[in-house]
Amino acid sequence: MAYLFTSESVSEGHPDKVADQISDALIDNFLAFDKDSKVACETLVTTGQVVLAGEVKSTTYLDVQKIARETINKIGYTKGEYMFDGNSCGVLSAIHEQSDDINRGVDRANKEEQGAGDQGMMFGYATRETENYMPLALDLSHRILKELAKLRRENKDITYLRPDSKSQVTIEYSDDNIPQRIDAIVISTQHDDFDEDEAMLAKIRKDIVEILIPRVVAKLSEQTQALFNDSITYHINPTGKFVIGGPHGDTGLTGRKIIVDTYGGKGAHGGGAFSGKDPSKVDRSAAYATRHIAKNLVAAGVADEVLVQVSYAIGVVEPMGVFVDTYGTCPFNMTDGEIAKKVSELFDMRPFAVEERLKLRSPMYSETAAYGHMGRKNETVTKTFTQPNGEAITLDVELFTWEKLDYVEKVKTAFRL
Same domain membership, residue 318 and residue 402: yes
Same domain membership, residue 346 and residue 401: yes
Same domain membership, residue 407 and residue 293: yes
Q: Tell me whether residue 77 is in a domain.
A: no
Q: Judge whether 404 is annotated as a binding position.
A: no
Q: Judge whether 147 is annotated as a binding position.
A: no
Q: Do 14 and 165 meet the contact criterion of CB atoms below 8 Å apart?
A: yes
pLDDT band at 28 (very low <50, low <70, confident <90, very high): very high
Count Cβ neighbours within 10 Å for each residue of 363-396 and write b for 16 or more, e otherwise: bbbbbbbbbbbbbbeeeeeebebbeeeeeeeeee
Same domain membership, residue 229 and residue 184: yes
- Cα distances (Å, whole numbers) of residue 53 to 56, 178, 288: 10, 45, 25
Identify residue 247 by its one-letter amino acid code: P
Least confident of 59-68, 193-202, 249-258: 193-202
Q: How far apart are CA 347 and CA 326, in angstroms?
A: 17
Confidence (pTM): 0.96
Query: Is the pLDDT score of 106 beyond 80?
Result: no
Residue where a domain terminates, one of 191, 226, 244 = 244
Residue where a domain terminates, one of 198, 223, 244 = 244
- Average the pLDDT over 124-139 and give the result: 98
Same domain membership, residue 346 and residue 287: yes
Burial class (CB in 10 A: 0-12, 13-18, 19+), 22: buried
Same domain membership, residue 334 and residue 237: no
Give the 3-state secondary structure of 281-328. Answer: CHHHHHHHHHHHHHHHHHHHCCCCEEEEEEEECECCCCCCEEEEECCC
> What are residue 102's phi and psi, to 5 degrees?
-75, -45
Task: Give percent of the chain above pLDDT 90.
Answer: 92
Q: Judge whether 379 is annotated as a binding position.
A: no
Residue range of the domain that includes 217: 3-8+136-244
Same domain membership, residue 297 and residue 226: no
Q: Judge whether 157 is annotated as a binding position.
A: no
The long-range contacts involving 410-416, CB below 8 angstroms and separated by at least 24 positions, are: 410/346, 411/296, 411/297, 411/300, 411/302, 411/346, 412/300, 412/301, 414/342, 414/345, 414/346, 415/300, 415/302, 415/332, 415/334, 415/339, 415/342
Q: Tell me whether residue 62 is in a domain.
A: no
Same domain membership, residue 406 and residue 318: yes
Q: Tell me whether residue 230 is in a domain.
A: yes
Same domain membership, residue 294 and residue 187: no
Residue where a domain terminates, one of 181, 216, 244 = 244
- Average the pLDDT over 340-359 and give the result: 97
CATH at 229: 3.30.300.10
Q: Tell me whether residue 93 is in a domain.
A: no
Q: Judge whether 57 is annotated as a binding position.
A: no
Q: Tell me whether residue 44 is in a domain.
A: no
Same domain membership, residue 411 and residue 291: yes
For 80-91, the pLDDT digits (tens) are: 999 999 999 999
**Within 10 Å of residue 198's Cβ, how many Cβ atoms?**
9
Q: Judge whether 241 is annotated as a binding position.
A: yes
Q: How many domains does the chain have?
A: 2
Same domain membership, residue 292 and residue 240: no
Least confident of 67-76, 111-120, 135-144, 192-201: 111-120
Q: Judge whether 16 is annotated as a binding position.
A: yes
Q: Judge whether 38 is annotated as a binding position.
A: no
Q: Tell me whether residue 114 is in a domain.
A: no
Q: Judge whether 281 is annotated as a binding position.
A: yes
Same domain membership, residue 397 and residue 289: yes
Q: How far apart are CA 24 and CA 279, in angstroms?
A: 12
Q: Tell me whether residue 349 is in a domain.
A: yes
Q: Which residues have a Cβ under 8 Å from the Cβ of 97 and sit 6 or more positions away?
A: 55, 56, 57
Regarding predicted confidence, which is higher, 195 or 171?
171
Q: Judge whether 142 is annotated as a binding position.
A: no
Q: Judge whether 154 is annotated as a binding position.
A: no
Count Cβ neighbours within 10 Å for each residue of 155-169 and write b for 16 or more, e otherwise: eeebebbbbbbbbbb
pLDDT band at 1 (very low <50, low <70, confident <90, very high): confident
Q: Tell me whether residue 71 is in a domain.
A: no
Q: Judge whether 250 is annotated as a binding position.
A: yes
> What are residue 314's phi and psi, to 5 degrees?
-60, 130
